[in-house]
Structure 1
Amino acid sequence: MQSRLIIRSDSSAMREVDGFVTTFVRDHGMAPDEASRTLILLEELITNLVKYGYPDRPECGRAEIVLALDGSRLVIEFIDDGCEFDPLAGPPPNLEAPLETRTPGGLGLHILRSLTDEARYERRNGNNVIRLSRTVAPPKRP
């Protein structure tokens, strides 16, 4: 059970992604709150790609989103043509430190890690590939 969506890496992408994720969750009998969690993850990835993925070119690129459900395991693969960047390589933010002493950034990485069971990055064929997975409630059967 797999679905794919190719998007332009721009600020309007989330409208298309929202419909794609909502349809996937509904068609696979998943709990509606799974759509919200998945959209949070994808919005973080898309926002970072739009902001930082194309520092040397004015035009936006493209990204591919693959959603797959294998029993109770949801796998999200995000493939983009932005500059090479491993968002998982950075250290987690120190959430205990006072706000005025914290280094900016890193909260998106914290979100990715907290909403997934596993997160991996690789550079494949000139693209960034982020693979996220988590256990979800088993799909409802009619």
Structure 2
Amino acid sequence: MQSRLIIRADSAAMRQIDGFVASFVREQGIAADEAARILILLEELLTNLVKYGYPDRAEPGQAEIVLALDGSRLQIEFIDDGCAFDPFAAPPPNLDEPVEDRQVGGLGLHILRSLTDEACYERRNEKNVTRLSRVVASAKLP
């Protein structure tokens, strides 16, 4: 089963994403606490797109979110029309360094990596395509 949502890439989009994820989780019988993890992943991708994806445009762009469940493996595809950006190209932050010595940024992408089993990026047809995959728990039957 696959569900698709197309959103305007702006700060109001998380309301739409929240409802979309809640419906998908419920319809697929995924454990309710998995919804929070999915939302964290999507919020990080959306936030980066809104903040950095359109440096030369005044108008927000568009993003497409595809959620698919194959057995217990959740596939998330986030496709956007922002400038090219590979979220996995930068090295992970050094969390052993004192906070005051660390470079700013990168923690959101670290969370993205830590909440997924597989992650990949490609630039295709002038769009960013980010694919994430993780095993999710099923809802417990009453």
Measure, in 2, the Cα distance between the counterparts of 1:137 and 1:50: 30
Instruction: Give matches, 1:1-142, under 5 Å.
Output: 1-138=1-138
Deviation readout 1:29-74 (Å, 9 max, x if unpaired)? 1100111000000000000000000000110000000000000000
Q: Secondary structure at the match of 1:82?
A: coil
Measure, in 2, the Cα distance between the counterparts of 1:88 and 1:39: 19
Aligned length: 142
Measure, in 1, the Cα distance between the counterparts of 2:122 and 2:64: 15
Measure, in 2, the Cα distance between the counterparts of 1:11 and 1:138: 30
Structure 2, unaligned runs of 5 or more: none
Q: Secondary structure at the match of 1:17?
A: helix
Indicate conservation of the 8 Å contact 2:32/2:139, yes or no: no
Q: Identity across aligned pairs (percent)?
A: 76
Q: Secondary structure at the match of 1:94?
A: coil
How big is the shift at 1:138?
Answer: 3.9
Indicate conservation of the 8 Å contact 2:119/2:132, yes or no: yes
Q: Secondary structure at the match of 2:134?
A: strand
Root mean square deviation of aligned Cα? 1.2
How big is the shift at 1:139?
Answer: 5.8
TM-score normalized with structure 1 length: 0.97
Alpha carbons of structure 1 residues 135 and 56: separation in structure 2 relative to 1, 3 Å: same
Deviation readout 1:76-113 (Å, 9 max, x if unpaired)? 00000000010110000011100110011110111011
